[in-house]
Every structure is written in C-alpha cells, then in structure tokens.
A = this chain, B = another copy of it.
Amino acid sequence: MVDALKFAVSVYVIVFVGVVAALPHQRRISPYNLKLRNPLANGYTYETLYLKQNVDHFGFENDNTYNQRYLVADQFWNHDNGPIFFYTGNEGDITWFCNNTGFMWDIAPEFKALLVFAEHRYYGESLPYGSESYANSTMLNYLTAEQALADHAELVHYIKSTVPGAAKSPVIVFGGSYGGMLAAWMRLKYPNLVLGALAASAPIWQFPGLSDCSSFYETASSLYYDASQACGDNLRLGWYTISEIGEGAAGGLDFLSQTFSLCKPLTSKYDLFDMMDWLANVYVNLAMVDYPYPASFLEPLPGWPVKEFCKNLATPLKEKDLMVALAKSVKMYFNYTGQATCLNISQQATGNLGDKGWGYQACTEMVMPTCSNNSNMFYNIPWDFKDYAAQCKADSGVEPRENWISLQYWGKNIKSASNIIFSNGLLDPWSGGGVLQSLSPSLIAIQIPLGAHHLDLRAQDPGDTADVRAAREQEKNILKDWLYGQ
C-alpha cells in the first residue's frame, strides 16, 4: 500500500473510464489509467488548503476526521459577494483536475469569481486513513458519492461562513465526467448551497435501466468508422487476427509480443484475452480524448488522435500486416513522445491509487453498464449484473447495489430539479449515458457535435472547433442568467 501511495502523489491518473470488457467471459472491470507524463505547466496559481472533515458523515460511532485538500485562487475574485466557482473533485488528484479545467480559469476574470477545487476523498492527498486508506474494505467503507458530496457541502458551507465577503456569494459547481455527475447531484441534493451546476460529460444515466448499455461502444466505434471504413473494419477484423495468430502456428504469440513491443511476452491464449481487453480500452480512451488539438489528457497526443490512429489503417489489411499496422498505431497512443520502451498490457491492473479507488466505487455504487453485441468494431461484450456482482464480491469482498444510484439521484425523474447544464461532446463514448435533450428551461442540454470527453471544460485553444466555442459562450450566458438574471 505504501508503494501505491508513493506512486500516487507523483502520478496523475484518470480512472473514470470504467470499461467492462468481456472476452470470452465477462470481466469485472478494468478502469483504464495511464501516467500523464507531462502534466500541463499552465501557470495557474492557487493556494493549497485543508479542511478537517468527518470520515463518516452518516453515522456517529466513527468520530475519526481527515483533512480534505482544496485549492483556492482568489486573484480574480470580487471580495464583495463575487460568485464562487467550485469544482466538485472526482476520482483523482485535484491538482490534475485543476490544471485540466481551464474553462474555469478562463472565465474567472470576467465573472470576478473565486475558484475552489475540492479534492474527492480517497484520492490525491485526501486520504481518510492515510496510507491505510485502501488496506481493506473496512477502511474503504467511507468511499461513496454521498460522503464525497457531504464533504463538498461542508466545504462550501465552511467557505461561505468563514471567508469575509463569501457569505452571500452564489456558488456554481463545475465538474467533468464523474465530477460532472457530482456537480449535478450537488444541485439535486444541496440546492441550498449551490445556485447551479455545469455538469460536463456527466453520464448520470449510464446506470442500469436508464440508458442502452450499447451506446458506449457504438459511439466509440463510430469514430473509427468515420475516420475511414477501412479503419473500423481493420480493427474489427483485428480480434480474429489476434486469435488466429496467437492460437495458430508456433511462434504466433512471440510475433504478437514483438510486434507490439510488449513488456511481458504473451505466453498462453488466455493472455490474448488480456491483450484484447487492453486494446479495446485503448480504442475507447482514444475516442474519449479525441480533441481537435494536441493535448496531454490521458497521454500526450496529437490533435484528432483517432484520425491519426487510423492513418496506418486506412486500407484493408489482414493477418500479420494488420498486426504490424495496428501496433504502429497503438504505439502512437502510448509513445507519442517517444519515451516508452515497451507496452504493458496489464497496465490497468497495476495498483495505483486512482485505479483502486474507482475499482471500489464501480463495485459498490457506480454500476455503469456497457455492452456490445457484435454490431460494431468491438467484440461481443455482454452485460450481466449478476456476473458483475459475483466478480466484485470475489475480487474485493463488496457487492454492488444495482439500483441505488437511480434511487438516490432520481434516475430519469429529475424534472423537479433546476439550474443544471448538461453538456456532452457527441464524440465521447459516455455521451449516450448523458442528458442530451433539455428537460426544462433550467435543465439545459448542450450538445457539442465535434467534442470529446468534457472538451468544453478545457482551456480555450486556437485549435478549438466552432461548436465548442459556441458551447462555452452558451454556458457563460446561462451562468450570467443564473447569477444576474433576477
């Protein structure tokens, strides 16, 4: 555990991408997470602070406390009741979210806003039990969205009641991905504290019974087919080619291992399943970060990385030629900066903190079905809650609750809420689990056709598409309406 934690402080991780891939039997979950080798040095300056929080907000037997980290930037703030823009931190180091949520920094001067980035418990430095936080399911018991929201609520309350000038400051919560879910849920559950929420790429309906589990892989697949028909067909054929070569003539496993420069050579056909799982995650993640300009979100990548990835695959290929081309593309993803010496297909299974955290959350509350039925470039990936639950129980000793999130956060019946922007980039595989149509004049859906995973929350960039610029303008106007409209 100590090693894992030491790792975590120097490594930025993204773990939301809780893809369930299944081949041939269902796999539990493999949150994809990669090192961000070059965290953005964007010059944002902030103060790092800590608030003592109850480890258990929902019970009184455990009176332990811990320090929640939060970052504050007040250089833009109108200290006389200027608004507070509050990022509801999600599953990772808050400094990373802070640095990758440039939209808040870009608009803070115009709104004269105080910026606050609140870290989610069990991630980054906000560890309820320090290096023991992940030791077992007893220690992990307080890792839930409800507890995290209560932390954020207490922090909002604390800031408003202690910072001079903040008492009457309206609070807008911002978040992307799971952080966007938390932002939306914060408005549902604590509208006394927050005036409104910008929930970017928040798949609040990617839960059992709320949306079609196939949309995730369908969307991802469509990006590759849009790049070129041949690219999608090649990737689809690739699964069979891997099996054929790996299970075929002697030397097949070695060929694959060498071609993909695998750190640990394949030694059996079971390793092929891991490899395919790993590849499926690569495709999905690349779709998630299909930004129009070079960016370092999951990995340092060129602009429109799916198109880049598909360049080598633009003509029909087969057999070893297909593998050689595919490997070249995969290395583009993992090794754009030329620093990787080999590729590690068990990377998502290594024990870094963010990964463990999301793995636990996925096995408790965050039951987010994804599936594929061979209708696209992915292999068959069934969804079966019972299998999923059994594997969670076997692996981590906890059992997920299939309908809890729907019950707790209102499922499809959110019309009685107000003041939430649900923005979604349509390139994002998660968009199918998001709110894509406005539900009322104050539950506003914004679609960004050429946007990937919460592109709108990123800092403005000369390479931005027109639609993300328009989305940000619309978001600013809605915020102004909330803040000044009455």
Residue A341 at the chain B interface, CB threshold 8 Å: no
A138 to B398, CA, bound (A): 21
Do A61 and B157 have beta carbons less than 8 Å apart?
no
Residue A441 at the chain B interface, CB threshold 8 Å: no
Do A61 and B141 have beta carbons less than 8 Å apart?
yes
Do B137 and A364 have beta carbons less than 8 Å apart?
no
Residue A407 at the chain B interface, CB threshold 8 Å: yes
Cβ of A86 to closest chain B Cβ, rounded Å: 15
A453 to B365, CA, bound (A): 40
Q: Which of chain A's residues 390-428 have a Cβ closer than 8 Å to chain B?
A: 398-399, 401, 403-404, 407-408, 410-411, 413-414, 416-418
Q: Which of chain A's residues 130-147 have a Cβ closer than 8 Å to chain B?
A: 137-138, 140-142, 144, 146-147
CB contacts (< 8 Å) of A191 on chain B: these are 410, 413, 416-417
CB contacts (< 8 Å) of A414 on chain B: these are 192
CB contacts (< 8 Å) of A141 on chain B: these are 59-62
Do A399 and B144 have beta carbons less than 8 Å apart?
no
Q: Which of B54, B60, B190 touches A137 (beta carbons < 8 Å)?
A: B60
Do B153 and A407 have beta carbons less than 8 Å apart?
yes
Do B138 and A413 have beta carbons less than 8 Å apart?
no
Which of chain B's residues has its CB closest to A411's CB?
A: B192
Q: Which of chain A's residues 184-204 have a Cβ closer than 8 Å to chain B?
A: 189-193
- Report if A410-B192 is in contact (Cβ < 8 Å); known contacts: A157-B403, A416-B418, A418-B416: yes
Residue A58 at the chain B interface, CB threshold 8 Å: yes
Interface string of A35-67 (1 = CB under 8 A from B): 000000000000000000010111111110000
CB contacts (< 8 Å) of A153 on chain B: these are 407-408
CB contacts (< 8 Å) of A274 on chain B: these are none
How many of chain A's residues touch chain B, expressed as a range? 35 or more
Cβ of A13 to closest chain B Cβ, rounded Å: 22
Residue A154 at the chain B interface, CB threshold 8 Å: yes
A contact face: mostly helix, strand, loop, or mixed: loop
Do B58 and A58 have beta carbons less than 8 Å apart?
yes
Cβ of A414 to closest chain B Cβ, rounded Å: 7
- Report if A144-B59 is in contact (Cβ < 8 Å); known contacts: A403-B157, A416-B418, A418-B416: yes
Cβ of A118 to closest chain B Cβ, rounded Å: 15
A137 to B59, CA, bound (A): 10
CB contacts (< 8 Å) of A147 on chain B: these are 58
Which of chain B's residues has its CB closest to A392's CB?
A: B60
Do B410 and A61 have beta carbons less than 8 Å apart?
no
A144 to B192, CA, bound (A): 21
Cβ of A117 to closest chain B Cβ, rounded Å: 21
A61 to B153, CA, bound (A): 24
Q: Which of B157, B192, B399 touches A60 (beta carbons < 8 Å)?
A: B399
Cβ of A454 to closest chain B Cβ, rounded Å: 25
Which of chain B's residues has its CB closest to A161's CB?
A: B403
Cβ of A385 to closest chain B Cβ, rounded Å: 15
CB contacts (< 8 Å) of A57 on chain B: these are 404
CB contacts (< 8 Å) of A364 on chain B: these are 60
Among A57, A189, A192, A398: residue with most chain B CB under 10 A: A192
Do A407 and B157 have beta carbons less than 8 Å apart?
yes
CB contacts (< 8 Å) of A404 on chain B: these are 57
Cβ of A245 to closest chain B Cβ, rounded Å: 42
Cβ of A169 to closest chain B Cβ, rounded Å: 14
A137 to B57, CA, bound (A): 15
CB contacts (< 8 Å) of A413 on chain B: these are 191-193
A364 to B138, CA, bound (A): 22
Which of chain B's residues has its CB closest to A365's CB?
A: B60
Interface string of A102-146 (1 = CB under 8 A from B): 000000000000000000000000000000000001101110101
CB contacts (< 8 Å) of A56 on chain B: these are 59
CB contacts (< 8 Å) of A54 on chain B: these are 401
Do B407 and A60 have beta carbons less than 8 Å apart?
no
Q: Which of chain A's residues 364-383 have a Cβ closer than 8 Å to chain B?
A: 364
Extra inter-chain contacts (7) besides given A60-B141, A150-B408, A192-B407, CB under 8 Å: A58-B146, A59-B141, A59-B144, A61-B137, A191-B410, A191-B413, A191-B416
8 A-B pairs with C-beta separation under 8 A: A54-B401, A58-B59, A58-B144, A59-B144, A63-B399, A153-B407, A191-B413, A192-B411
Going nearest first, the 9 A-B pairs with the smallest beta carbon separation are: A192-B410, A192-B413, A61-B141, A58-B58, A191-B416, A60-B398, A60-B364, A59-B141, A61-B137
A residues near B, CB below 8 A? 54, 56-63, 137-138, 140-142, 144, 146-147, 150, 153-154, 157, 189-193, 364, 398-399, 401, 403-404, 407-408, 410-411, 413-414, 416-418
